[in-house]
Amino acid sequence: MTPNLRNSDDCVLTVRAQYNELTGWTQNTANPIVAERSVDTRIRVRHGETIVLAGLYRQTEIKQTSGVPVLSDIPVLGKLFQSERKKKETFDIIFILTTYIQR
């Protein structure tokens, strides 16, 4: 965050909010795969004001299959011995900033 004072009661903030998340590993070199989400903005705020930054949003769907050992591996008939479960996750990061100008 970079503040620029305009006068004694307000300032302009340049804000970059960033979130990184490990999502997996590469197969050949085992290097990490990192997903990055960020928001950049310029905001004019007064002393004591609170601002809210949001938008680092992610929604995932996970499919999980389980079944009876051996029987669920049989081609075609194995589907009768399996169950599938879907799970949705929603993730949102919100930054709340309150400004105080030191005189």
Three-class DSSP category at 68: coil
Residue among 66, 41, 68, 46 at smallest CA distance from 56: 41
Structure tokens at 62: 């996970």
**pLDDT tier, 32 (very low <50, low <70, confident <90, very high otherwise):** very high
Q: How far apart are the first and last CA of the chain?
A: 19
Q: What is the pLDDT of residues 38-85, one digit of tens each?
A: 888 888 888 889 988 887 788 888 888 899 998 888 888 888 899 999
Residue among 49, 52, 15, 17 at smallest CA distance from 36: 17
